[in-house]
Chains A and B, each alone.
Chain A
Amino acid sequence: MAIEVNGKTYETDEEGYLVNLGDWSEEVANFIARQENVEMTPNHWEVVNFLRDYYNEFQIAPAVRVLTKAIGKKLGPEKGNSQYLYELFPYGPAKQACKIAGLPKPTGCV
């Protein structure tokens, strides 16, 4: 499967996750977000960028529980809770935000 953004084609897996991490850009992220019916706000970007940083450091997309805790540690408890994250990403913060962040599906996500 593939998506096309501004005339360029990017390979995705059958669930829409980018195959090559290096293909990611803000443009691609916006495109995937639109497909997911997510309108990107600064709060969304904050989570997406957090996930990308986490991946760079640990080479994994964290599970929801881990993401929630880690965000709480870095951005404060009003953001480190699942209600806040699910409001931003209704189909699951790890799953949906990871897709927009160009990361693989989190390990352990079904």
Chain B
Amino acid sequence: MSEGTIKKFMYVNRKAPYGTIYALESLEVVLIAAAFDQDVSLVFMDDGVYQLRKGHQTKGIEVKNFQPTYRALEDYDITRLYVEREALQARGLTADDLCVPVEVLERAEIGRLMEQQDVVFSF
């Protein structure tokens, strides 16, 4: 990547947080890539919306609770978080149930944004 070129990077998160390692891996990649000053957005769809569901308490399963880290994304200048409306609805959730401010979008709208990216990272 030549210096000064800003690309549009989208991270698509579709997995629930603790059943697999995808959510944590995605978050780490996002934080690492943030150092490169790209145009970054995060999408949460399907079970991925559970990553942002407030109130994770992971002591009992002896796994690190990485939910607080989503609140640090702002410090990394990552402010575009999109959440799928249909996924929230199907799970009985609203944006108020999430741990960070997000923009709720219809699936089709997310599809449109996806088309505009230079790079899509799928998790």
Physical contact A–B (CB less than 8 Å): yes
Shortest C-beta distance, B115 to chain A (Å), equals: 29
Among A57, A59, A65, A69, chain B packs the most CB atoms within 10 A around the CB of: A59
A62, B32: Cβ atoms closer than 8 Å:
no
User: How far apart sit A60 and B74, CA to CA, in the bound complex (Å)?
Assistant: 13
Instruction: Contact check, A59 vs B68: say whether CB atoms are below 8 A apart.
Output: yes
B34 contacts A58, C-beta separation under 8 Å = no
Does A2 count as interface, using CB distance less than 8 angstroms? no
A63 contact set on B, CB distance < 8 A: 31, 34-35, 76
| Complexed CA–CA distance, A73 and B15 (Å) | 35
Q: Complex: how many Å from CA A3 to CA B59?
A: 28
Contact assessment for A108 and B69 in the assembled complex, using a CB-CB cutoff below 8 Å: no
Q: How far is the CB of B58 from chain A (nearest CB, A)?
A: 11
A49-63 CB contacts (< 8 Å) to partner B: 57-60, 62-63
Q: Are A59 and B75 in contact (CB under 8 A)?
A: no
Q: Which of B6-46 contact A (CB under 8 A)?
A: 28, 31-32, 34-35
B91 contacts partner chain A, Cβ-Cβ < 8 Å = no
Checking A59, A65, A69, A70 against B69 with a beta-carbon cut-off of 8 angstroms, the contacting residue is A59
Chain A contacts with B in 62-100, Cβ cutoff 8 A: 62-63, 65-66, 69-70
Q: Kindly supply a per-residue 1/0 record for chain A positions 22-63, scoring 1 wherever the CB is within 8 Å of any chain B CB and 0 otherwise.
A: 000000000000000000000000000000000001111011
Task: Give Cα A63–Cα B66 distance, bound, in whole angstroms.
Answer: 16
B65 at interface (Cβ–Cβ under 8 A)? yes
Verify if B119 is at the interface (C-beta below 8 Å from A).
no
B residues whose Cβ falls under 8 Å from a Cβ of A: 28, 31-32, 34-35, 64-66, 68-69, 71-72, 75-76
A-B residue pairs, 7 tightest by C-beta: A58-B72, A108-B32, A59-B68, A107-B31, A66-B75, A58-B68, A59-B69
